[in-house]
Amino acid sequence: MSDWVTVLYLCGMGLAGWLMYRQIKQHPELFSSENLIKSSNVLAVLALALIAFIGLVVIVLRNG
């Protein structure tokens, strides 16, 4: 990677970090334990659905 690309990546990371910090300071309720538990439950269901879908695709491709 060239030096300019590295500098741009670092600037982008700094901007993303600053935006996240500002968002957390303005809306601290987003990271309450209740909201985090709900989010992790949704992610677990989505992960199981993805595993089932990939398993189904593998079965169909092996038999086809």
Q: Are residues 21 and 37 in the same domain?
A: no
Task: Let me know whether 23 and 38 are in one domain.
Answer: no
pLDDT score at 31: 84
Domains: count for the chain? 2
User: Are 43 and 17 in the same domain?
Assistant: no
> Quick one: 45 and 19 in the same domain?
no
Strand segments, DSSP code E, in 1-64 are none
What pLDDT does 11 receive?
96
41 and 55 within one domain? yes
Q: How far apart are the first and last CA of the chain?
A: 43
pLDDT value of position 40: 96
Mean pLDDT, the chain cut into blocks of 10 residues (64 residues total): 89 96 91 91 98 97 90
Which range marks the domain in which residue 18 is found? 1-28
No. of helices (H) and no. of strands (E), the chain: 2, 0
Predicted pLDDT at 17 = 96
